[in-house]
């Protein structure tokens, strides 16, 4: 009995959605005809506006600190003897190691969208 009620309710929902969509389309078509008769552009035939992408915000000091910490973790994994140093110390004492880790980090975190 419950299954029958569920199936009947599901069918009523489907029918309601079908008629709602059909009525919305008819309403839109009637509105367009009315606008055409008044000399205005129909609403449904207007071309979509092009999408404008907002530029990425500049990195904050917190973003830069997190980036430096991630690079330092990669360096500490490859060179355990450098554990306990700060990013600025590693950057000053081992510039080539830092530069290579930074290039690797930038390559892994490059944006995936085309600009």
Q: Are residues 66 and 93 in the same domain?
A: yes
Q: Are residues 68 and 99 in the same domain?
A: yes
For residue range 51-102, what is the model confidence (pLDDT) as tens digits? 888 887 888 999 999 999 999 999 999 999 999 999 999 999 999 999 999 9
Does 66 reside within a domain? Answer: yes
Residues of the domain holding 2: 1-47
Which whole number is the average pLDDT over 96-115? Answer: 85
Does 104 reside within a domain? Answer: yes
Nearest-CA neighbor of 87 among 98, 79, 78, 99? 98
Q: Are residues 66 and 101 in the same domain?
A: yes
Model confidence pTM above 0.95: no
Nearest-CA neighbor of 65 among 37, 98, 87, 33? 87
What's residue 47's pLDDT? 67
- Helix (H) and strand (E) counts in the chain: 4, 0
> Residue 6 CB: number of other CB atoms within 10 A?
10
Q: Are residues 74 and 96 in the same domain?
A: yes
Q: Could you tell me the two tokens for 26?
A: 């008819």
Does 114 reside within a domain? Answer: no
Query: pLDDT confidence of 25, banded at 50, 70, 90?
Result: confident
Which whole number is the average pLDDT over 19-24? Answer: 90
């Amino acid at each position: 009995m419950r299954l029958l009620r569920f199936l009947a309710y599901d069918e009523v929902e489907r029918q309601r959605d079908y008629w709602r969509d059909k009525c919305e389309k008819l309403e839109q078509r009637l509105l367009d005809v009315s606008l055409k008769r008044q000399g205005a552009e129909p609403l449904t035939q207007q071309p979509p506006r092009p999408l404008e992408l907002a530029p990425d915000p500049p990195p904050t000091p917190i973003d830069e600190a997190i980036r430096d910490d991630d690079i330092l973790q990669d360096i500490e994994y490859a060179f355990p003897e450098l554990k306990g140093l700060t990013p600025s110390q590693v950057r000053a004492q081992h510039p080539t190691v830092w530069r290579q880790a930074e290039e690797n980090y930038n390559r892994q975190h490059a944006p995936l969208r085309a600009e």
